[in-house]
Amino acid sequence: MTFREPLEPRPMVQRRLLDYVRPAAAKMALGLLLTAVASLATIAYAWAVKELISAVTRHSLNTLWEALLFAVGLNILKNAAQYGGGYTLTTVGQQVVATIRADVFRRIQYLPLHVFDRWRSGELMSRFDNDVTLMANGVQAMPLFASAALTLVGALIAMFSIDWQLTLVTIAVAPVVSYAVMRFSLLLRRLTNVSLTRIADLNAILQESIESMRVIKAFAREPHEVRRFTERNDAYLGASMKLAQITLTQTPVVDFVVTVGLLVLAGFSFYELVVGRKSPAQLGAFFTLAIAASNPINQLTNYFGDLNKAYIGSSRIFEVLDLPVEVRDAPGARTLAAVRGAVEFRDVRFSYDGGVEVLRGVDAAVAPGDVVALVGPSGAGKTTLVNLVPRFYSPTRGVVYVDGFDIAEVALGSLREAIAIVPQDPQLFSDSIEQNIRYGRLEATAAEVEAAARLANAHDFIVTFPEGYATKVGARGIRLSGGERQRIAIARAILRDPRILILDEATSSLDARSESLINEALARLFVGRTTFVIAHRLSTIRRATAILVMSEGVVAEQGTHAELLARGGVYAQLYETQVLQLTGT
């Protein structure tokens, strides 16, 4: 999903950024103070120039040496204060960026699953990467912006004290400069947002292609993917070039206006000198201040562009931070303890989009320790139903009970502690085999990890690797076979020791040997646990103590294997079809 809504108003973004800065207000104030000292030292050069010119006109060597020493002292003070202020302000800014980055990651971890159904993962990655980078660039520009702004203000005040008329002539170009900066800022904000949207599209396509590489190659769609990427890449290039054009145009335009202002000032100044109203020393000091004021104007336009981009990045980041998190616990939520595993669905209805119902009034009761097989055609609602048990989604109507408690009213952490899931495509992390198994219970010992691997029939293949349990599995477990990944996932579930187990077609894509080993491991895992199995394999279905036959979002039939066969209904027809497929008749 890509957001197209208007960005958050600037005052709101600034207010939220200030909330992040507030804990470091004292350090921020120190940085600004040191920056102000550096700016004052820069402005004080005008006095040194005035004394140098006076020394020449008065032929005073003492005044000359004093002015030179004063200028050297000012330079040392300016650089030291500028370094201290810049380092302090950068430290504050980087701490703010690090805090926001951590908050974004934390928010992503706690987003409900339906958000990931709508958002492309590449879009979230782009917000986390590119937008935070823009914020970091803005942070780097912040101390320079502060220094330039303070120097400009101080120089103008000093110029007024010397000659207010010449100062008014100098700042006559200010409205033109302000208008130019404002127009460029609006263009920069709009084009930056477009550019960020385009790079998010690129990231999404790249990630999708990497994750779907087997499918791409299987259908020989490499040229199609290249074309698709090229189209998005060209769109990003166009947006980037427009952004670069505006950025590069801003500086010469502002520089031209400022230069014209300085030339007008020069004409008035020399007129003042010719008619005798100003001395060379006074004009020297005034021109030094005018130059000190003109440089920050050019600098401010550049820094203002960086800050504008940082504002756009901040707005997009706050969109992520404003996404709703999972409803963790209702007020007074009960903590589930000593879970037995009784599960009941009472008139459960569910819709993903608020319209079409995937579940249409499911009623079912599962006793502790039951192995329940969910069968039925694709789209019947099997996976949706089991996803309600760990509260990945909440029913739009009806109630799911665990041990007699409405799961909407229990502490989410205690509910999920009692549940383990073994999906059809096990999700492994790019870490060692040991750490992937330990993910089921982080405090488990190495001996407990090995014991779980043995029960999952995984130990024997693990020890064949040169590094054993320390073997890195690669991204998503790519270095392991499908059966090996599945056994690692089962070991992880065994280590968790759940009271409720969910298997989502865990053996559907395995060869006979791997399936045999996994079924043996699953038989150990089933003992003493309430188990939901979404499967089509007869071996799994036959082990079930109860079968729920799903059809068009309702439980069409339920009972044991023998009972359902005897009825000759939907299950019997599915079973007969599968037997015919297996026998080839």
* Structure-token pair, residue 409: 């009213």
Dihedral sign for Cα atoms in the order 208, 214, 219, 225: positive
269-290 residues labelled b (16+ CB within 10 A) or e (exposed):
beebeeeeebeebbbbbbbbbb
User: What is the Cα–Cα distance from 46 to 149, expressed in whole angstroms?
Assistant: 18
Chain-wide mean pLDDT for the chain? Answer: 78
Widest Cα–Cα separation across the chain: 121
Distance of CA 202 to the CA centre of its chain: 16
Do 484 and 518 contact (CB within 8 A), yes or no?
no
Nearest CA among 393, 404, 379 for reference residue 350:
393
Mean pLDDT of 212-221: 61
User: What is the Cα–Cα distance from 123 to 120, expressed in whole angstroms?
Assistant: 5
Mean pLDDT of 90-115: 82
DSSP strand pairing (371-375 vs 419-422) = unpaired
Fold category of 10-321 in CATH = ABC transporter transmembrane region fold (1.20.1560)
DSSP strand pairing (397-402 vs 500-504) = unpaired
Nearest CA among 198, 228, 203, 231 for reference residue 216:
228
Distance of CA 231 to the CA centre of its chain: 25
User: What is the Cα–Cα distance from 324 to 319, expressed in whole angstroms?
Assistant: 10
pLDDT the model gives residue 68: 81
Highest mean pLDDT among 93-97, 421-425, 444-448, 523-527 belongs to 444-448
Residue bearing the bigger pLDDT, 567 or 304: 567
Same fold, 10-321 and 343-583: no
**With bands split at pLDDT 50, 70 and 90, how would you rate the model's confidence at 347?**
very high
Distance of CA 325 to the CA centre of its chain: 14
Mean pLDDT of 542-567: 85
Residue by residue, DSSP assigns 541-566 as HHH-SEEEEEETTEEEEEE-HHHHHH
103-139, pLDDT tens digit by residue? 888 888 888 877 777 776 667 777 777 787 777 777 7
Do 82 and 35 contact (CB within 8 A), yes or no?
yes
Checking if the pLDDT of 9 tops 60, the result is no
pLDDT the model gives residue 6: 40
Least confident of 21-35, 223-237, 396-410, 544-558: 223-237
Domain ranges of the chain: 10-321, 343-583
* Structure-token pair, residue 416: 């999920």
Mean pLDDT of 501-530: 71
Nearest CA among 236, 211, 238 for reference residue 225:
211
Do 197 and 2 contact (CB within 8 A), yes or no?
yes
pLDDT the model gives residue 473: 85
User: What is the Cα–Cα distance from 108 to 100, expressed in whole angstroms?
Assistant: 12
Do 397 and 438 contact (CB within 8 A), yes or no?
no
User: What is the Cα–Cα distance from 458 to 464, expressed in whole angstroms?
Assistant: 11
Distance of CA 499 to the CA centre of its chain: 34
3-state SS class at 388:
coil
What region, left, alpha or beta, does residue 196 occupy, with left being phi > 0 and alpha being psi -120 to 50 degrees? alpha
3-state secondary structure 461-500: HHCCCCCHHHCECCHHHCCCCHHHHHHHHHHHHHHHCCCE
User: What is the Cα–Cα distance from 536 to 72, expressed in whole angstroms?
Assistant: 85
Host H or E run for residue 397 = strand 397-402
pLDDT the model gives residue 539: 60
pLDDT the model gives residue 47: 76
User: What is the Cα–Cα distance from 420 to 169, expressed in whole angstroms?
Assistant: 76
Nearest CA among 420, 443, 415 for reference residue 339:
415
47-68, pLDDT tens digit by residue? 777 777 777 677 777 777 877 8
pLDDT the model gives residue 257: 67
Instruction: Say which CATH architecture domain 343-583 belongs to.
Output: 3-Layer(aba) Sandwich (3.40)
pLDDT the model gives residue 5: 40
Contacts of 413 (CB under 8 A, 6+ apart): 328
* This model's pTM is above 0.85: no
**With bands split at pLDDT 50, 70 and 90, how would you rate the model's confidence at 207?**
low
